[in-house]
Structure 1
Amino acid sequence: MHFPFKEMPGTPELSIYEKTFAKSDETDAILVVNGKKLHVNKALLSYHSEYFKALFNSEFKEKSMEEIEIKDVKFEDFATVLSLIQKNSIKLSVYRSNQLLELADRFMLPAATSCVKFLLYETSDLDLQEKIRLADKYRLEDLLDSLIASFSSHYEFDGYKSMELTDETKRKNLLSYHSDYFDVLFNSGFKEKSMDEIEIKDVDFEDFAIVLSLVHKNPIRLTEDRNLNNLLKLTDQFMLPAAKHYLELFISTIDDQLTAKFDEFKVA
């Protein structure tokens, strides 16, 4: 009797992610994601990440476990991020930048963050607004400054102002856009660039606040009893041409109203 030969199933080929983290003489720990194993080196991960340094070297129960489960991550993204600190890194996809930056932030891997940041610098596959959103979300300050400086028109900047960015970033870069004074202050090598609070000396608080508000979408209401001449001086001092133009228009309406009232008086 003839029996047809049935081929035995072979071992499935490992993915690039599993190959990158295959067991070797240099690995001494196993991270498990969705049932898949990543063989890693504790010392390397501990050097690059405060998260893994604590995990492997503190009194957490994971310190003595042969396999450590990593939850709430996508296997491919997690493997890619970890590979960025190794000599055999996995090729990055710019379209996964958000997920990769999120994991690099969560697992405290600044070297991995730098790799993704460099990709965002170089790529033309993502539009400018998406790059800015990512740079703001993950506090990539030097990338954010570079991207804001690349706006070529007021139209582009108006689009930027409508983006969902942190209020701090919007205010800082709005001033940089409208004022060469603040552009230098926030983006040069001055110590103020990294300061949370910057003291502005020799100005009246209310007048200064009014002048700054004139480049915002909700400016403080101008009144005739303000020292308009002082406000104009501040627009020159802090190099705010848009605010100065706003003030000049307001002053011209006051002059027109006074002229009209004078004409009415003459007729009467």
Structure 2
Amino acid sequence: MENKSETLRLFQSTPSKETTEVEEDASETQTSIGTWPPTVGSDMEFIVNCAFDGSSLGNKSFQYLWRNTIKWQFEFYKNSHNVGLRIHCNRRNKSRLWKCHVSIHRQILCPTPFRPPVDYKNYTFDADHPTEEFPNIASTLVLSEFAFHVIVKSVSGIPLKPTIDFSKPMENVLDACLLIEGKKVYVGKSHLAMFSPFFRSLFFSEFLERSLEEIPITGEDVKHEEFIQFLSFLYPFNASIDSSNVDFLLKYSDRFDVPFLMEKCEKWLISREEEEDKAHLMLLAERFHLSTLQNHCLMSLKTSDEIQKLSKSKDYVELSDSSKTALFNRMLEIMNEMSNTEAREREKDEESTYSEDSEPQRLKSSVWRARWLGVGNGGISDFSDEEEEEEENDEVIVVD
């Protein structure tokens, strides 16, 4: 079984022994070392390599990691001239309905390589006993490095995320083998065919590839690790789209014809529109024919300055003439909207200059407007200064 490992490096001072539960929660966010999927099989397995200088270690230090839905906490503490370790499993869960059975093997790597026989000890974590303690794992006087090999044998009362190892066949489940960058990737024919017309044709049409035991997926743009992530969205892994994978997920969704994932990526990009470079979003919309995303980008541009800023982006030069025309038309719309708004404001200002009891003045203004618009003579009239003076001298008769 393949192992996953992570190194915890503790060279900085850490919270004192009097750290409260609230402070530990805050530390949890700051010192989290990340998450990764567990290895496949009935067991979950991982190796934690710990390296630190005991002299700089504070009274207490927490390191956190997640395995599937189980939260592990590694608490290092000073004990005279030695360093101790407490391993906490799911300790915030006070329910008495969960249990986690594990085997743990410890190996010292530095300063003196000590390789005892592979001897795993079994432990059971639950609400009554969520912690196992190893009081003297290293000295505070020297640089120390050691490894803990943890195998989760069984779990009850904690719902685990489903996991699949695409590197191994699974009878009646993973029944087709793809070759990507020379590496075997096992997939389910019927499952992929349900989401992708491309795979439906590949596996169930009369193509030559249908009869091959190993079907090569060619192209420099298809990477093994990216393809595995792509598959995780086609299986119920609750995988999440983020800025690190959205570009290649769009690429694979387009190449392998997976409409639902394409739509999911488009919605994620729209939700992040305020934080992403609009020129890059316009480029993605153009490449993958995402009309909703392009329309959202265009309508989110409210000023000509925003469009000018977009035009200075490095991705703008890669846009097609069609997309640039759409941006130009949007700028014209913005300018027309501004012009209409200014005209309405001027009209309101003019109307506000006339008082309610100045009816003769309003009538005079109406006459002037009618002449300017050419009412009665079929065209726009030009007024000379003399005509304006004569009009001002005209007596306006008000009929009660």
Tell whether the 8 Å contact from 1:179 to 1:241 is kept in structure 2 after alignment. no
Q: Does 1:44 align with 2:191?
A: yes
Instruction: Return the offset for 1:142.
Output: 0.3
The amino acid that maps onto 1:176 is R
Please name the residue that 2:230 is paired with: 81
Please name the residue that 1:172 is paired with: 326
Please name the residue that 1:91 is paired with: 240
Please, which runs of 5 or more residues in structure 2 have no aligned partner?
Answer: 5-35, 41-162, 341-400
Please, which runs of 5 or more residues in structure 1 have no aligned partner?
Answer: 1-10, 181-214, 216-234, 243-268
Please name the residue that 1:157 is paired with: 307
3-state SS of 1:108 partner: coil
Partners of 2:261 and 2:252 lie apart in 1 by 9
Partners of 1:108 and 1:119 lie apart in 2 by 18
Tell whether the 8 Å contact from 1:49 to 1:108 is kept in structure 2 after alignment. yes
Q: Does 1:145 align with 2:295?
A: yes
The amino acid that maps onto 1:126 is E
Higher helix share: 1
| TM-score computed with the length of structure 2 as normaliser | 0.39
Instruction: Return the offset for 1:170.
Output: 2.0
Structure 1 residue corresponding to 2:277, chosen from 127, 131, 152: 127
Partners of 1:95 and 1:62 lie apart in 2 by 32
Partners of 1:132 and 1:96 lie apart in 2 by 18
Instruction: Return the offset for 1:240.
Output: 9.6
Q: What is the identity percentage for the equivalent residue pairs of Structure 1 and Structure 2?
A: 26
Q: 1:86 to 1:177 in 2, by over 3 A?
A: farther
Tell whether the 8 Å contact from 1:84 to 1:111 is kept in structure 2 after alignment. no
The amino acid that maps onto 2:245 is R
Q: Number of residues paired by the alignment?
A: 177
Tell whether the 8 Å contact from 1:33 to 1:75 is kept in structure 2 after alignment. yes
| Per-residue CA distance 1:153-196 (angstroms, 9 max, x = gap) | 3211113345131211221342234227xxxxxxxxxxxxxxxx
Partners of 1:171 and 1:240 lie apart in 2 by 20
Tell whether the 8 Å contact from 1:52 to 1:107 is kept in structure 2 after alignment. yes
3-state SS of 1:135 partner: helix
Q: 1:179 to 1:35 in 2, by over 3 A?
A: same
Tell whether the 8 Å contact from 2:301 to 2:307 is kept in structure 1 after alignment. yes
The amino acid that maps onto 1:12 is E
Q: 1:170 to 1:20 in 2, by over 3 A?
A: farther
The amino acid that maps onto 1:60 is F
Partners of 2:239 and 2:184 lie apart in 1 by 16
Q: 1:68 to 1:87 in 2, by over 3 A?
A: same
3-state SS of 1:91 partner: coil
Larger Rg: 2
Matches within 5 A, 1:163-242: 163=316, 164-179=318-333, 241=339
CA RMSD after TM alignment:
3.1
| Per-residue CA distance 1:6-60 (angstroms, 9 max, x = gap) | xxxxx43378498544444422212222243322221222232222122112222
Partners of 1:178 and 1:109 lie apart in 2 by 37
3-state SS of 2:266 partner: helix
| TM-score computed with the length of structure 1 as normaliser | 0.56
